[in-house]
Amino acid sequence: MVAVIHSSKSLRNILAYNENKVRQAHANLIYASGYAKDLDQLTAADRIGMLRKRNELNSRCKINTLHVSLNFHPDEKLTIETLQQISESYMAKIGFGSQPYLVYQHHDSSHPHLHIVTTNIRPDGSRISLHNLGKMQSESARKEIEIKFGLVRAGTAQQVDIAKLKSTVKKIQYEQSNPQGLKKAIADVLLAILPTYKFTSLPELNAVLAQYQLLADRGSKESRIYKHNGLVYRVLDKQGKTVGVPIPASAFKFPATLKYLNRRFQENISARDSFKVRIRNSVDTAFHHKAIKSFDSLQHELSKENIHLVLRKNEKRVVYGLTYIDHKTRCVFNGSDIGKAYSANAINARIYPNSVEAASIRKLEQSVITTNGPWEPQNRSQYKPEYWQVFTINRDLVKTLMQPEGDGAITA
């Protein structure tokens, strides 16, 4: 289960969003807590009236509305009764059990999910603090509920596996979408990727999003968006060019802003570290057992392990960078982050042993072995920056580093 919390100044907008879904037959109101009437007796005026009156008890509090979404795995077939119990348990555990709230079951996405609308104003006019609500109470509540109801745990291999992701979240087709449908398609992709994949930068995130023809864009450094730490999401066409009107990250009812992503970047640095070895082993195995003659053939072999290799090319179509996306562990790495032997230059040298890069590496290695001490090229301009660093190394270590595959491969 993935829980997403959004606080707001506008009760009317949040309720209108959910009530419109009901009118369009894309949602049902399945539970109402703290209301005097039974669920089937509540009118639209009753639903907003209770929450509005509560908010009026504290006119000084501007952020007085809470909008929660509880998202479940596509394979989970949960009854209305179970969904009611889950929502009731969740609200109690985050400290909102005594508050009036409405629970809507939405049917507009590929996975089961609920939307809960409530207020943080108590009957005496005091307010419930929303500070760290998502990080503290919600995270604890989520884990307890997953155990109690036997739900698929967020962040596990079960939560998003590549086969189901590809079958339920599809590439965004700009030509076939109206504005409302386009926003929903973007939201589906973001909900599948942002909470579950381990990326540490915007380019790494975009390597994943590009597979669904989507781009997270800060704009140019001179733009107003960039200067105000803003972020927009843009749809890409089949050639990778942006099309249509961008959608601000703040327009979504779940965290998708640059502030949220920056926090994810930091969290993911350590979270992904132990998964490097799987990619290393997969690359080395591909070279050891197959005749890898091109980047295409390497991509094909890695795809068998659910690893997508993204080639970054310059204007002359020369590969200058690699990004590895491991869909099994949901980790994203630049090649150099895994090790020097997995960077674009090193992989190019392994594929094309007669290339300039391969010759540069061999010349570097031979110089190190010959001198058995510090080495530096006489003309640094002949070499890529990573190859003209000064080395102090002995022959035994060099011999180990020269091994072509396995644990002896050159690593950073």
- In angstroms, the Cα distances linking 301 to 245, 279, 288, 295, 344 are 37, 12, 12, 10, 17
Mind listing the pLDDT tens digit for each residue in 267-277? 889 888 888 99
What residues contact residue 353 under an 8 Å CB cut-off, 6+ apart?
A: none
Reduced to 3 states, what is the DSSP secondary structure of residue 228?
coil
Distance CA 239, CA 259 (A): 29
Residues forming a β-bridge with 118: 66, 101
pLDDT at 216: 97
The DSSP code sequence of 191-202 is HHHTTT-B-SSH
Domain ranges of the chain: 2-149, 162-271, 274-408
Extract the tokens encoding 64: 């007085």
The dihedral formed by the CA atoms of 340, 344, 346 and 347, expressed in degrees to the nearest 10 = 120
> What is the radius of gyration, based on Cα positions, of the chain?
26
Mind listing the pLDDT tens digit for each residue in 137-190? 998 999 999 888 888 777 654 444 444 444 456 788 776 566 777 888 898 899
- Which class is domain 2-149? alpha beta
Mind listing the pLDDT tens digit for each residue in 220-277? 999 999 999 999 999 998 888 998 889 999 998 888 999 999 999 998 898 888 889 9
Reduced to 3 states, what is the DSSP secondary structure of residue 305?
coil
pLDDT at 176: 59
Strand-strand pairing, 214-217 and 65-71: unpaired
Instruction: Decide if 53 contacts 130 (C-beta within 8 A).
Output: no
Q: How many residues does the chain have?
A: 412
Measuring CA to CA, which residue among 94, 118, 111, 156 is closest to residue 34?
118
Q: Cα 328–334–338 angle (5° rounding)?
A: 75
pLDDT at 160: 45
Distance CA 112, CA 102 (A): 17
β strands within 150-295, DSSP E: 214-217, 232-236, 242-248
Reduced to 3 states, what is the DSSP secondary structure of residue 115?
strand
Measuring CA to CA, which residue among 345, 355, 316, 312 is closest to residue 412?
345
Regions of the chain short of the pLDDT cut 70? 155-169, 175-178, 355-412
Q: How many helices (H) and strands (E) does the chain have?
A: 15, 11
DSSP class of residue 155 equals T
pLDDT at 168: 58
